[in-house]
Amino acid sequence: MTRAQAPGKVILAGEHAVVYGRPAIAVPVWEAVATAEVRNGAAGAGCVIYALDLGKTIRLADAPHDDPLALVARLALRRAGLADDPDWRIDIASDLPIAGGLGSGAAVSAVLVRAILLHAGMEPAPELVSELTYAGEEVHHGTPSGIDNTVVAYGQPVWFVRGEPPAIFACAAPFRIAIADSGATGPTRAMVDQVRARRAADPARYDRWFDEIGEIVQAARQALEAGQPVELGPLFDRNQALLAQIGVSTPALERLMAAARAAGAGGAKLSGAGGGGNIIALVEDEAVEPVRAALLAAGAKRVLVTTVAA
């Protein structure tokens, strides 16, 4: 049996603007992961993927070409030099909420790729895992930025500009963020399409907002590399104000962010496509439990606290 894991992710700053060439920063969330296990099956059984949390059973020989998991599985098998339908059983489980901004689709695809390559005796290099995962992301999201597949494949903080190689960078000091699930789904593809349509109607205004978001992302990286993560708080708030202008925030998300700030968070913003999903809040050690309690009282369905290591 071969076992592999892939983390979730949150975008610290830059969502939506990243689709239009501005930078974004994302970090892995190892407190919520996708897991895949591969076992050799009976001769003639073929390759069967059991996606437990999705309620899906995929027989690779019969799966349509546009099924994201079947697609990445076939691509990984071909890269490993194997036939499209080995006699394998693959079980996938995930802690990540679907359409919640934590990169659930990318994590499930990435862990499937990683497990297949490992079971075939091939080293799952992060750049290859990212490449194959992106193919699944295209089916999920249409025109994904590429940030989700990159951060879940590398499992480290990533500076990302579309069309350029991702830059893995180190934070000079650790920091903690609380991640609160609003319970509402915000499908990435739909939100990206809505922003694209609004930008088409007023490109000058949207490009100005995207430029401002890009400046915030630059400042966030400088703060992280200087060992000053406390500066992220005001940057989160500035980024959120622009995301609200772009039209991807919701009253439920704003309520969670207000609760986090009132309980002592240094700043807060939505993370991901918006329209639902998660918010993130910068928290010092003494604020973790008050912020967690405030978020739950304000309606969060789940609160994770992750440490981004130096």
Predicted local distance difference test score (pLDDT) of residue 141: 66
| Helix segments in the chain, DSSP class H | 68-79, 104-119, 126-141, 147-154, 188-201, 203-225, 232-246, 251-262, 288-297
pLDDT digits (tens, 9 = 90+) for 180-203: 999 988 777 889 999 999 999 999
Supply the DSSP string of 48-111, one letter for each residue: EEEEGGGTEEEETTT--TT-HHHHHHHHHHHHTT--SS-SEEEEEEE-SPTTSSS-HHHHHHHH
pLDDT higher than threshold 90 for residue 144: no
pLDDT above 90 covers a percentage of the chain that reads 79
Predicted local distance difference test score (pLDDT) of residue 99: 65
pLDDT higher than threshold 80 for residue 210: yes
Rounded distance between C-alpha atoms, residue 300 and residue 253, angstroms: 9
> Which of 141, 168, 195 is the C-terminal boundary of a domain?
168
pLDDT digits (tens, 9 = 90+) for 22-53: 999 999 999 999 999 999 999 999 999 999 88
- CB distance 71 to 136 below 8 Å: yes
Residues 6+ apart with CB under 8 A from 194: 247, 248
Are 24 and 105 within one domain? yes
Are 163 and 188 within one domain? no
Are 184 and 145 within one domain? no
> Which of 168, 203, 218 is the C-terminal boundary of a domain?
168
Are 249 and 142 within one domain? no
pLDDT digits (tens, 9 = 90+) for 1-13: 999 999 999 999 9
Q: Give the pLDDT band (50/70/90) at residue 252.
A: very high
Are 151 and 185 within one domain? no
> Which of 168, 202, 219 is the C-terminal boundary of a domain?
168
- CB distance 257 to 240 below 8 Å: yes
Are 110 and 233 within one domain? no
The total domain count for the chain is 2
Q: Give the up-direction half-sphere exposure of residue 69: CA atoms within 13 A in the CB hemisphere.
A: 26
Mean pLDDT for 117-124 is: 96
Per the structure, the complete domain to which residue 277 belongs is given by 175-308
Are 130 and 274 within one domain? no
Are 75 and 131 within one domain? yes
What is the domain-level CATH number for residue 299? 3.30.70.890
